Amino acid sequence: MTGHMFTDRTGALLDNAERLCVARGSRLTELRRQVLGLVLDAGRPVGAYDLLDGLRADKKGAAPPTVYRALDFLLEQGLIHKIERLSAFVGCTHALDRSHGDHAHEGGCHPHAAQFLICTGCGQVTELDDRNIVHALVDATRGIGFTVRQSTVEAEGLCGACGTGAIPPAHAHGRP
């Protein structure tokens, strides 16, 4: 067991992740569990080197390849997503929340074609799981003979708090 203590919510999500991995014939090692916990506890998109810093709090000899191997596994298992625009990672709450199950999409699409709303004011990222967006993309590309195998949509804009101006963007969502 690591010295890092996660929130109760993160602990429950980590337990769900472990069950998902076992059901898929994979293993959520202690290191992978810790990296996933750091991603989930961050509450925002987090970069690999920030994760490395968090990992080094418990494992002094941790090196970048250690983190990248864990991230690759977590991505393959659908437990996290990479936000390409930010070169950062977020937990896949749809996979980890047991109420959503394994969330396979219909029509041969990628098991979880996520959409991300990135607030340019405060940096908050919200994950959507809207099948209508996936189906619209599949339908739009079918006419030109293109088969969508995987899709991730990243849209930039302003979240509700930043968009209304009720909270100055620099202070929205508890950011200094």
| Residue numbers belonging to the annotated binding site for Fe cation | 103
DSSP, collapsed to helix, strand or coil, labels residue 79 as: coil
Strands 88-91 and 115-119: unpaired
> Which residue numbers belong to the known binding site for Zn(2+)?
119, 122, 159, 162
Helices (H) then strands (E): counts for the chain: 7, 5
Evaluate whether 151 touches 134 at the Cβ level (below 8 Å): yes
Locate 79 and state its tokens: 């437990």
Pull the structure tokens for residue 40.
């989930």
- CA atoms lying within 13 Å on the CB side of residue 108: 6
Annotated binding site: 103, 119, 122, 159, 162
Q: What is the DSSP string of 104-162?
A: PPSTT--TT--EEEEETTT--EEEE--HHHHHHHHHHHHTTT-------EEEEE--HHH
